[in-house]
Structure formats: C-alpha cells, structure tokens
C-alpha cells in the first residue's frame, strides 16, 4: 500500500487511532490551561532552587520531544511507501511496551535524564511554548492519519533518541500521550511547590483524561 500524506479526519479512523487523537486533544487542552492560566513569572519559575523544570520547560520539552518523534515516524512511513504492511487489527503492544507505559504514566515514580536534544529552553512565553506544542501535535495527527491502514507493529525504525535501538511505530504512538500526561502532571506539581509565586486560576486540581 502507498502511505500518502492526508488531512486527519477523526471520524474515518479506526477506534484505537481515534482514541489516540482524543488523548492528544485532552493533553493539548491541559497544556493550554497551564500556559494561558499563569503569568510569565509563574510559567518560568523553577522549583527546588532552580534544579527542577518550570511549567514552561515541561511544555517545551514535550513540544521538542513530540516534534522529534513526529519527524522519525513520518520519515519511516515515507521510506516504506507502497511497501507499508497492511493493517490487520487494532494496535498491539508487547510486554516491554506495556511496562514502559506503566513507568511513564503519572504519578511519576522514576525520573530519567532527558536526551540532550529534548532539553528545553530556560525561559519561554506562554504563547511561544503553546504554539510549539500545538505545532508538534499537528504533525503527530498527520502521522496518525497516514497510519490508518498500516500495521503499525510491523513498522520499525531507528529510535530518534537512542540510535542504537529500534522502535516500532505502534510503540511511539502509544507512548506520546502517556509522556504528555507525565510532564503535564509534573508541570501542575510546580504550582503546588513551596515558593511558587502565587496561585494560578483554574488549576486547583489534576484532571486529565487517560486510559
């Protein structure tokens, strides 16, 4: 089959891929609430005497990470062209994928050092970081649309962050919303940290849709 770029029409997607888009929508709404509901000082304030990431840095990290994932996934589909394996059913995840999702999902229990190319800038405006976040999401939505008829578990490519490893398209699509929730949770925790400069409006609880 040929994998052509196309507009993302959620109503035409299989239920599992439509669910992915709903998860992207939910995390994007949460990111907007965080970025637009705080001042620049609040957005860029870092807990733990500057050793932990700010709200803005968490969102910037997600934008950079998602952009890199989107580029890797899109390139993989480009390379396959008409040789892309035809979809045979819903997205299937292996044991290692499910274990990774359990680790990534909030509440955060284990922390990892971010890859160098996903390290966020120290100071961003809310408009800047939200624009980058949404732009990366649009690229991911395009990948989801292109993957509609593809057996994603049979599409492998070099991991965009760990080049000695390979990763499946199905794994990337599953981990992106979970990784979003992880850092949105961490961003919300910033507002509860000692020394945070004021209480943001509308962020009095952590509430985000996920399976």
> Is residue 118 one of the residues assigned to a domain?
yes
> Is residue 89 one of the residues assigned to a domain?
yes
What is the Cα–Cα distance from 138 to 66, expressed in whole angstroms?
10
Q: Hey, CA dihedral for 194, 200, 206, 211, is it positive or negative?
A: negative
- Give me the count of residues in the chain: 211
- If one counts the domains in the chain, the total is 1
The per-residue pLDDT for 12 is 81
Enclosing domain of residue 107: 10-190
Q: What is the pTM of this model?
A: 0.89
> Is residue 66 one of the residues assigned to a domain?
yes
> Is residue 207 one of the residues assigned to a domain?
no
> Is residue 202 one of the residues assigned to a domain?
no
Give the residue ranges of the chain where pLDDT is below 50.
1-2, 5-7, 200-202, 208-211
Q: What is the pLDDT of residues 1-20, one digit of tens each?
A: 445 544 456 678 999 999 99
Closest-CA residue to 169 (of 194, 193, 140, 196)? 140
> Is residue 35 one of the residues assigned to a domain?
yes
> Is residue 196 one of the residues assigned to a domain?
no
> Is residue 199 one of the residues assigned to a domain?
no
The domain that holds 185 is classified in CATH as 1.20.120.450
Tokens representing 191 are 């507002």
Q: What is the pLDDT of residues 169-205, one digit of tens each?
A: 999 999 999 999 999 999 999 999 999 998 544 455 5
């Amino acid at each position: 089959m040929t994998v052509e770029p196309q507009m993302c029409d959620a109503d035409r997607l299989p239920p599992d891929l439509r669910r992915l888009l709903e998860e992207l929508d939910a995390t994007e709404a949460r990111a907007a609430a965080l970025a637009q509901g705080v001042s620049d000082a609040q957005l860029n304030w870092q807990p733990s005497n500057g050793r932990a990431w700010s709200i803005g840095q968490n969102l910037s990290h997600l934008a950079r990470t998602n952009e890199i994932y989107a580029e890797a996934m899109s390139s993989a589909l480009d390379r396959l062209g008409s040789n892309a394996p035809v979809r045979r059913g819903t997205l299937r995840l292996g044991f290692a994928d499910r274990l990774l999702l359990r680790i990534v999902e909030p509440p955060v229990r284990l922390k990892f050092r971010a890859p160098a190319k996903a390290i966020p800038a120290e100071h961003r405006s809310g408009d800047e970081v939200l624009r980058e976040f949404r732009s990366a999401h649009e690229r991911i939505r395009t990948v989801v649309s292109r993957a509609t008829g593809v057996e994603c578990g049979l599409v492998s490519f070099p991991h965009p962050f760990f080049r000695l490893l390979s990763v499946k398209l199905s794994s990337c699509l599953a981990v992106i919303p979970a990784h979003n929730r992880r850092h949105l949770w961490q961003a919300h925790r910033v507002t509860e940290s000692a020394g945070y400069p004021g209480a943001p409006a509308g962020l009095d609880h952590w509430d985000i849709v996920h399976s």
